[in-house]
Amino acid sequence: MNETTQQAIVQTLREKILSGELAPGQRLVEAQIAQWLGVSRTPLRYALSVLSSQALLERSGARGYVVRRFSVQDVLNAIDVRGTLEGLAARTVAERRVDAGLEKSLQECLREGDAIFSAGRLGEGDETRYAAMNGRFHELIVDAAQNTAISAALSLNDKIPFVSPSTVVFDETAREHQFLMLMYAHRQHHAIVGALLNGEGARVEALMKEHTYISKESLNLSSSRFHLISGAA
């Protein structure tokens, strides 16, 4: 079972949680889920562990998981917190100046994103590639700030579902809209790198905060659907 297939199972289960097909509080039995998806249990265990680390699932017993309940407002608040903390990190990096190694890594992220969007649509696997690139991009900036308080706070904050920059939500029914939305987010990546390289601390801090609005939009859920998947009353 290759890594791409494992990631596809992760994405499939994530979408089923987001849609409410796997309901908040529902217990996931490994054998039943494997049969349902038509996959073997080894890659499924990997997928369940990944979704648990992303706080979409909670451990229940020795091998079981349940779909986590969460507050809609918790998610939105945590996205705002991420923007504030990452903005501070980016400002720190800009004012300290970007070294050659960081510039090279950031430019690699930009090129990878450019390649994803060059076809004019999202192809197979592009969602996974974008999410991984996006996670690396944000991680590079946070790590470069060398502020353990920011890193620790973000690590805790990212335990709330859908908040981590490496967790990007996709909806198969709105692929064209999501392509345009994510392409705009990637243009923001270019602007962020430009501000970092120019040492524009205040500007890059504002850009990072604005960038989080894309995370909210990428949930691509109506208020009623949001309440459905959160298990809210």
Ordered structural domains, the chain, with CATH = 3-67 (1.10.10.10), 72-230 (1.20.120.530)
Higher pLDDT, 177 or 82: 82
Higher pLDDT, 4 or 127: 127
Higher pLDDT, 119 or 195: 195
* Closest to 212 (Cα-Cα) out of 75, 57, 54: 75
HEC per residue, the chain: CCHHHHHHHHHHHHHHHHHCCCCCCCEECHHHHHHHHCCCHHHHHHHHHHHHHCCCEEEECCCEEEECCCCHHHHHHHHHHHHHHHHHHHHHHHHHCCCHHHHHHHHHHHHHHHHHHCCCCCCCCHHHHHHHHHHHHHHHHHHHHCCHHHHHHHHHHCCCCCCCCCCCCCCHHHHHHHHHHHHHHHHHHHHHHHHHHCCCHHHHHHHHHHHHHHHHHHCCCCHHHHHHHHCCC
Higher pLDDT, 215 or 10: 10
Least confident range of 104-113, 116-125, 131-140: 116-125
pLDDT band, residue 233 (cuts 50/70/90): very low
pTM: 0.72
What average pLDDT score do residues 66-71 get?
84
pLDDT at residue number 227: 52
pLDDT band, residue 89 (cuts 50/70/90): very high
Least confident range of 11-25, 44-58, 200-214: 11-25
pLDDT band, residue 18 (cuts 50/70/90): low
Backbone angles phi, psi at 215, to 5 degrees: -60, -40
* Torsion angle of the four alpha carbons 1, 132, 129, 46, in this order, in degrees rounded to the nearest 10: 20
Place of tokens 């990546």: 189
pLDDT of 112 > 90? The answer is yes
Higher pLDDT, 137 or 129: 137
Residues 6 or more apart from 62 whose CB is under 8 A from it? Answer: none
The strand pair at 64-67 and 57-60 is best described as: antiparallel
Paired residues of 59 in beta bridges: 65
pLDDT band, residue 125 (cuts 50/70/90): confident
pLDDT at residue number 54: 76
pLDDT band, residue 232 (cuts 50/70/90): very low
pLDDT at residue number 172: 63
pLDDT band, residue 171 (cuts 50/70/90): low
